[in-house]
Structure 1
């Protein structure tokens, strides 16, 4: 099957469009999260997403309806992580661990009450981008637009709290509000990304493209653009490779992004020796 013939199928068009948009979101937000040492928040919120999806499937809600159930739950939990860090004097990874363990425990309990791990839950766990629906594509486009507009509008504030939160606070930046916005945007992105790479692999899409870009780019704006380009490349190539070789799409996308990171890291090490 040739590339043009493959592109003629509706499921491929939907997968490439939604996957590219979500890849851009993960890459852009990942740069802020990696530099703020909050990269594991994606993994923590992914576990919460598992619990929220199990809740939706428990009530026989599927596809886009499951995403709509997950969005408010995961967004509230993202704020919970932030509040635990601020009020309970916990480090970021401790707060993430508490919320993460709660999310996975609730998910397992609901899955057990609902009759076990069925095919629908596994599709969310490991991703099934080739089965993404038209409604999910529309939702991805809408939320992607919202996230990118907010990141663009608050770019300087986000950059300020990323590099020096104390200085940003002194300069008049509403650091608590901006931090809350960052984790909420991350929650939106995690929920959207679960159909691309699956709940179990979401954190990789947040971390790998941004880590590769930060190794190469000379400035932060360049890192954002390069991270987005690497993520889209990994998603598109991963989809085509998985279809051609009959491999799991989500895992293929993640492995390609890891391969890019490994090449970048190895290249920098070799150049540093010369």
Structure 2
């Protein structure tokens, strides 16, 4: 027990772990608050699709010798809007639109990495996350993102609530549904790009889906779902990061496993209560 406490104290003394915890908590908070709108609108897999897009943008950035962060944010944002336009204007359902964009992006990323000499260490860290890769730029962008997400959810709560439950009716009563959807898509894109530093492109979508689905098992209303999901997400990030250091495990996988365990507990609790 004492050795574990000592290891946690040691972890907290390192700058990279402090940055990882702050960024992880802010990304966890942002993804959880956005998650309910994406899950209930049946767009939860957009996180997975955009993660695949970010894989391609990282490959492009590494090939060009540019900063992956500043290459990924605009391209992933445009891709999220493209997915929504395919769904709205081309009549392609959400999951199919996501599949089209994500599969094309993975193919592009693999081709670029092949041309540039294969998968290197940098690209591998983006695939599965690396807390050592988190820089001060990520920290400040995460702070701005979290503020933007919290402001959006609070200020546009009624609009987002209406759009989530009945988008057609929301449009009829004058809510600018397209602008609100684009706003959520943009915030989700930035969350995905920043989140891949912590858990990687292969696992980032889980930070959007798991906390919300867990919260839905026990929540009583829309607001409580957002609050519970945020608490679960932040708890999973903190325990997952510290646990990964103590047990020498991959941080991204540890965070997802904690989320999975919590979901299992919530489902078990719901099953017992409903009997």
Match of 1:184 in 2: 186
1:245-274 Cα deviation digits (max 9, x unpaired): 10000000001001000110011112222x
Q: CA RMSD in A?
A: 1.1
Match of 2:246 in 1: 244
Match of 1:101 among 93, 97, 103: 103
TM, length-normalised to structure 1:
0.96
CA-to-aligned-CA distance 1:44-87 (integer Å, 9 cap, x gap)? 111000001100000112xxx21111000000000000111111
TM superposition outliers: structure 1 runs of 4+ over 6 Å: none
Aligned position for 2:11: 6
Aligned length: 270
Q: Residue 160 of structure 2 corresponds to which residue in structure 1?
A: 158
Q: CA–CA distance in 2 between the matches of 1:224 and 1:271? A: 21
Structure 2, unmatched stretches of 5+, are 1-5
| Distance change (3 Å), C-alpha of 1:2 and 1:116 | closer
Contact 1:19–1:129 (CA under 8 A) maintained in structure 2: no
Q: How many Å separate the matches in 2 of 1:174 and 1:131?
A: 39
Counterpart Cα distance in 1 of 2:131 and 2:211: 19
- The structure 1 residue matched to 2:128, chosen from 123, 126, 129, is 126
1:194 aligns with 2:196: yes
Q: State the shift of 1:215 in Å.
A: 1.2
Aligned residue in 1 for 2:3: none
Range that drifts further, 131-140 or 47-56 = 131-140
Unaligned segments of structure 1, at least 5 residues: none
Equivalent of residue 149 in structure 1, options 151, 155, 159: 151
Q: Describe how 1:20-169 pairs up with structure 2 within 5 A.
A: 20-61=25-66, 65-169=67-171
